[in-house]
Amino acid sequence: MLSGKTVLVGITGGIAAYKICELIRMFKRVNANVRVVCTPNALNFVTKLTLQNLSQNEVGVEEFNIPDFKPEHISYADEADVMVIAPATANTISKLASGICDNLLTSVACAFHKPVIIAPAMNCNMWQNPIIQENLKNLKTYGYTILEPESGFLACGYQGQGRLCALEKIFDATVKKLSTKKILTGKKIIITAGGTIEDIDPVRYISNYSSGKMGIALADTAYELGSDVELVTTVPAKKPYVVTKVKSAFEMKNAVMEHFSDADCVIMAAAVADYHVKEKSAQKIKKTNDDEITLTLVKNPDILKSLCELKTHQTVVGFCAESENLLENAKEKISKKGCDYLIANDISRKDIGFSSDYNEVTILSSAGVVKELEKADKYTIARQIFEEIYG
User: What CATH number does residue 368 fall under?
Assistant: 3.40.50.10300
Based on the fold, state whether residues 301 and 192 are members of the same structural domain. Answer: yes
The confidence band for 67, taking pLDDT boundaries of 50, 70 and 90, is low
Domain presence at residue 42: yes
Alpha-carbon gap, residue 316 to 323, rounded angstroms: 23
Q: What pairs with residue 6 in β-bridges?
A: 33
Number of structural domains (the chain) is 2
Angle at 86 (CA atoms; ends 76, 172), nearest 5 degrees: 95
End-of-domain residue from the set 179, 213, 239:
179
The confidence band for 214, taking pLDDT boundaries of 50, 70 and 90, is very high
Domain presence at residue 297: yes
Domain presence at residue 158: yes
End-of-domain residue from the set 124, 150, 179:
179
Based on the fold, state whether residues 206 and 174 are members of the same structural domain. Answer: no
Residue 172 makes CB contacts below 8 A (sequence gap 6+) with none
Alpha-carbon gap, residue 371 to 17, rounded angstroms: 45
Based on the fold, state whether residues 284 and 154 are members of the same structural domain. Answer: no
Domain presence at residue 1: no
Based on the fold, state whether residues 216 and 349 are members of the same structural domain. Answer: yes
Alpha-carbon gap, residue 129 to 320, rounded angstroms: 39
Alpha-carbon gap, residue 55 to 95, rounded angstroms: 26
Domain presence at residue 250: yes
Over residues 47-59, the pLDDT tens digits come to: 999 999 999 999 9
Domain presence at residue 321: yes
87 preceded by a cis bond (ω within 30 of 0): yes
* pLDDT at residue number 62: 85
CB 340 within 8 A of CB 385: no
Q: Which residues belong to the active site?
A: 156
* pLDDT at residue number 66: 55
Residue 283 burial (C-beta neighbours within 10 Å; 0-12, 13-18, 19+) = exposed
Based on the fold, state whether residues 44 and 140 are members of the same structural domain. Answer: yes
Is the pTM of the predicted complex or chain greater than 0.95?
no
For residue 108, the SS3 value is: helix
* pLDDT at residue number 350: 81
Residue 14 has pLDDT above 90, yes or no: yes
Q: Which of 30-44, 51-65, 100-114 shows the lowest per-residue confidence on average (mean pLDDT)? A: 51-65
Domain range for 332: 188-390
Q: What is the mean pLDDT of residues 61-68?
A: 69
Q: What is the mean pLDDT of residues 177-202?
A: 93
What's the mean pLDDT when you consider all of the chain?
93
* pLDDT at residue number 68: 56
Domain presence at residue 136: yes
Q: What is the mean pLDDT of residues 349-368?
A: 89
Residue 238 has pLDDT above 70, yes or no: yes
Alpha-carbon gap, residue 33 to 13, rounded angstroms: 23
Q: Which residues of 130-163 are buried (b: 16+ CB within 10 A; e: fewer)?
A: eebeebbeebebeebbbbebeeeebeeeeebbbb
Domain presence at residue 154: yes
Q: What pairs with residue 111 in β-bridges?
A: none
End-of-domain residue from the set 119, 147, 179:
179
Q: What is the mean pLDDT of residues 153-180?
A: 91
Based on the fold, state whether residues 143 and 241 are members of the same structural domain. Answer: no
Based on the fold, state whether residues 113 and 202 are members of the same structural domain. Answer: no
Residue 69 has pLDDT above 70, yes or no: no
Based on the fold, state whether residues 29 and 90 are members of the same structural domain. Answer: yes
For residues 193, 228, 108, 143, the Cα torsion angle rounded to the nearest 10 degrees is 20
Based on the fold, state whether residues 53 and 193 are members of the same structural domain. Answer: no
Q: What is the mean pLDDT of residues 240-256?
A: 96
Please report, for residues 34, 50, 375, the alpha-carbon distance to residue 55 in angstroms, rounded to integers and kept in the order given.
5, 9, 40
The confidence band for 180, taking pLDDT boundaries of 50, 70 and 90, is confident
Over residues 253-295, the pLDDT tens digits come to: 999 999 999 999 999 999 999 999 999 999 999 999 999 999 9
Q: Are strands 358-365 and 370-377 parallel, antiparallel or unpaired?
A: antiparallel
End-to-end CA distance of the chain: 19
Q: What is the mean pLDDT of residues 231-238?
A: 94
Residue 322 makes CB contacts below 8 A (sequence gap 6+) with 329, 330, 344, 345, 346, 347
The confidence band for 71, taking pLDDT boundaries of 50, 70 and 90, is low
Alpha-carbon gap, residue 32 to 2, rounded angstroms: 5
